[in-house]
Every structure is written in structure tokens, then in C-alpha cells.
Amino acid sequence: MSNILCIGAGYVGGPTMAVISKHCPQHEVRLVDINAERIAAWKSDQLPIYEPGLKEVVEIARGRNLFFYTAEHIAELINWADIIFVSVNTPTKTFGMGAGRAADLQFWEKTARQILEHANGPKIIIEKSTLPVRTAEAMSNILNTNAKGVNFDVLSNPEFLAEGSAIKDLENPDRVLIGGHNTESGQRAVQTIVDLYANWVPRERIITTNLWSSELSKLVANAFLAQRISSINAISALCEKTEADVEEVAYAIGTDTRIGPHFLRASVGFGGSCFRKDILNLVYISEQQGLPEVAAYWEQVLKMNEYQEARFVANMVHAMFNSLSGKRIALFGAAFKANTSDTRESPALAVCRELLEERADIALCDPHALENARQDLGGLADQVAFIQDPYQAADGAHAIAVLTEWTHFTELDYQRIYDSMAHPAFIFDGRNILDHQALFEIGFNVYPIGKAPMQHFNHNDQGAGVLPK
């Protein structure tokens, strides 16, 4: 039996430990977090994050071999643990050297020092947070320069789960990646963690590498995923200028097995806590290593994402006669993707901020993310109406913008919505999830991503003409 501690009970630490404890009843798993409110929520029926299937998993293990603690217990917990996962946040630095690009490692370093202070015996320390390459080495250095003579093996075990499908991804991962030092003790530690995951993951899906490859692979995986979205979004702009349809193009190229069909959904842009942060990190590392061309290449993925968001808003302004001032606009979606309450880096909030600049009157609607949206919008929240019911949000609106791909938005009665809106009524589908032809037939002027708009009137200065009714 092992004593497993996870420091940081967030979107990654919480679900990961829940699944480990479910599959490994022989081990005891404890989570600790400095956020007491979060810990209280983990212990309650209202979990701190919305994630399909999470509650069921937590309920299996909580109180059996899964326990939650606040930070005042950190010393005893560190001492108790054999294996410590560190899953504290590593946001982009907002100050000093590397501001806006490098990862802020202050929480990580503080955690390493706490481990050093309170550990009285050997431990395996696992990087679960995404970190710049060679952080593990720095951590090893901090940890292993201790006067107590305690041995720490630092491993990298990046998490590839996507929010909204976290439980599915953890239960049935494409791969688990474990990086360790090529020393006897390092390899023993790697084997311990391989054995842990082998309780439910087939061995052939557990990849072991050296530490640096593991750390870098996490950044590269996210950079490649984001790059595919930026690539298809770049093509969506071209499609809107020609008569190509981005979904047809994505399908046509995705059937090539070398390209594959995934992550080719054109959208208003990608969000989430990882893509932007990890690419900035990759850019920063490349610059630091004297590779400006490599840095510029990856930076372009972010620039394209910003362009796509800005282009979406510009299309709205342009379609709605160059003025949004005082017009009510219902934003369908606040979360950065469907099936999550998370609004970090959400394109929906970026669009919301830009529309507020245009002095539009915003009704923001989302089934699970309104509370996080309110917090993320900070001082701007006063200018936004937060309305969970889409019918109410759209009531009297001039336009709807679909910004998150919640299935819920595809199942609404759009005739009823149209009847309650100001006319001409506009709908901007930033996720291409609605039935555009049906909406057009109801009377909406429809603006998908990467397809010709469907308008009931002629915009003289716009490429597309009037489409037949």
C-alpha cells in the first residue's frame, strides 16, 4: 500500500486523484489545497468543478481511500506520503523577466520547499502541473540539497486530460507518460508509478521517457493541437471570402489518414487554461535557447487565434450596420468549451469584452459557467446581464452569438426565439453547431464560421449577395 498525496485540488488534481483512488483501493489518496472553500466543496455534494461523471467517481472513493484536507495539515500530510503529485497552478508570469510569456513557478517552488521542510523520509515527487522543460531538474536540485540526507526522486507525469471529458480521458487514456532520471533510484521510482497506472491502464499505453522528453512532450502536444485549430481557422477566413465551406474542407482533408479528422473544427477561437500558456512557454523557451525562428513559428498560432476572435467581432459589427451601441446581444456560452464550468481564456469572454467596448448591451447565458464568468469579467461584470435561460437572454435581442458548443443550444425552439427578438434578427454561430438553413428559413440572418453568410438583404459592401428564400 502506498500513501499518495496530491498538492492542488483543481481541474487536474481533483479528477486525477478521484480516478486513481477509484481504481486503486489498496492505496490511500489525500488531496490538499490552500483554497479552503474548494476543499469544503470537494467534501460536499456540490463539487467545485463541473465535469461529467466526476461526482459518481468521487462518491465511490470518498471516505474510503480518498480524503480532502486544507493547508494547515500540509506538514503531517507531506510526512505521511510516499508519493506526492504536485498539481498547483503555473500561470503565465505577469511581472519581471519573461512577463506575459514564461510560466510563473512561484507556487511550484514554494511547494518544493514545503516538501523539503516537512519530509523526514524518501519520497517520489511527481510534476503533474505543466512546467517548462528542465523544471524537474531545478526541483531535484532544491530538494536534494537538503541537510537531512533524504532522497527525493522527481518524475514528470504530465496530464493530457481535456476538460469536459476528463473522466473518460483518465479512465481510458491514449497514453500515460512518465519521465524519470536514468539512475537506479530514478528508474525504481518510474516503475512504482507505472505499476500504479497499470491498475487500470494497459501497459502498452504507459510510455516511459527521460525527464526532459516528458516535460517537453506536454508542451508540444498542446502546441500541435492548438496549431491544428489555428490552421483550420486560418482557412475559415479564406472560406468566407470564397465559396468554399470550411466543414467540407475539414472533412475532405481529415479523411486522409495522415492528417486525421480530429481538432479540425473551425471556431471563434480556442480557449482554456493550457493552450495559450503552454505555447507562450514554448515561445519563451525557444527564445531563451537562441531560436527566434522557432519562437516566431509557434507564436503565430496564438496570433491567428487572436485574429479569429477579433474577426468574429468585426463581422458582427459589419453585418449589423456598423453599430452595436445600445443593441442587446445574447451570448450563448461563456465556458471555453462545452461540458465544463471553466471560463479561463474563454473566447466567449474575449468576445464579450470587445462587444462591451462597442457599447453593446450584453446578456450572457450558459448552463454551468456563469459564476466563473462573473468572476473572470471582474469590473466589467456590472455591465453584463447573467441569464441562465437562453429564451430570456434572447428576448428583445438584435443578435445571438453562439460561443460555446453546448448541445443544449442546438435543441432550442428558434422560431420562438426569433419571434421574441428585434428584427432584422442576426445569429452568429461561432461554433457551427446550429442548423443554418433552418434558421435562415425562420427569418434569421445567419453568419457561420468559414461559410458564406445567409442574409435576407443585400449588404452592398459585403461579398455575399442575397440568398434565395
Distance from C-alpha of 92 to C-alpha of 373, rounded to nearest angstrom: 20
Q: Determine, following the binding rule CB under 6 A, whether residue 88 of this chain makes contact with ligand UDX.
A: yes
Q: Determine, following the binding rule CB under 6 A, whether residue 368 of this chain makes contact with ligand UDX.
A: no
Pick the stretch among 85-93, 193-201, 314-322, 435-443 that binds ligand UDX (CB under 6 A): 85-93
Cα 192 to chain centroid distance, Å, stands at 29
User: Which parts of 162-181 interact with ligand UDX (CB under 6 A)?
Assistant: 162-163
User: Residue from 19, 105, 133, 161 that binds ligand UDX (CB under 6 A)?
Assistant: 161
Q: What's the closest the beta carbon of residue 261 comes to ligand UDX, in angstroms?
A: 10
Q: What's the closest the beta carbon of residue 335 comes to ligand UDX, in angstroms?
A: 9
Q: Determine, following the binding rule CB under 6 A, whether residue 86 of this chain makes contact with ligand UDX.
A: no
User: Residue from 21, 87, 227, 372 that binds ligand UDX (CB under 6 A)?
Assistant: 87
Active-site pick, 239, 274, 352, 365: 274
User: Which parts of 260-279 interact with ligand UDX (CB under 6 A)?
Assistant: 263-265, 267, 270-275
Cβ proximity to ligand UDX, 65 vs 273, nearer residue: 273
Report which of 343, 401, 340, 400 is spatially closest to residue 372, judged by C-alpha positions.
343
* Cα-based distances in Å from 415 to 1, 422, 429: 60, 13, 16
Pick the stretch among 103-111, 372-380, 386-394, 441-449 that binds ligand UDX (CB under 6 A): 103-111
Cβ proximity to ligand UDX, 340 vs 445, nearer residue: 340
Strand partners, 126: 85, 155
Q: What's the closest the beta carbon of residue 84 comes to ligand UDX, in angstroms?
A: 12
Q: Determine, following the binding rule CB under 6 A, whether residue 8 of this chain makes contact with ligand UDX.
A: yes
Give the DSSP H or E segment for 127: strand 123-127
Distant-in-sequence, close-in-space partners of 351: CB < 8 Å, separation ≥ 6: 268, 309, 312, 313, 331, 401, 403, 430
Q: What's the closest the beta carbon of residue 308 comes to ligand UDX, in angstroms?
A: 9
Cβ proximity to ligand UDX, 230 vs 445, nearer residue: 230
Distance from C-alpha of 235 to C-alpha of 254, rounded to nearest angstrom: 14
Distance from C-alpha of 108 to C-alpha of 50, rounded to nearest angstrom: 25
Q: Determine, following the binding rule CB under 6 A, whether residue 305 of this chain makes contact with ligand UDX.
A: no
24 annotated active-site: no
Q: Determine, following the binding rule CB under 6 A, whether residue 13 of this chain makes contact with ligand UDX.
A: yes
Q: Determine, following the binding rule CB under 6 A, whether residue 7 of this chain makes contact with ligand UDX.
A: yes
Q: What's the closest the beta carbon of residue 270 comes to ligand UDX, in angstroms?
A: 3
Strand partners, 29: 4, 66
Strand partners, 5: 30, 84
Asked whether 158 and 274 are in contact (CB, 8 A), the reply is no
- Please compute, for residue 50, the number of CA atoms within 13 A of its CA located in the half-sphere on the CB side: 16
Asked whether 391 and 370 are in contact (CB, 8 A), the reply is no
Number of residues that bind ligand UDX (CB under 6 A): 40
Indicate if the alpha-carbon torsion angle 86, 26, 167, 72 is positive or negative.
negative
The residues of the shown chain that bind ligand UDX, judged by CB under 6 A, are: 7-13, 33-35, 38, 87-90, 107, 110-111, 129-130, 159-163, 222, 225, 229, 263-265, 267, 270-275, 336-337
Residues tagged active-site: 274
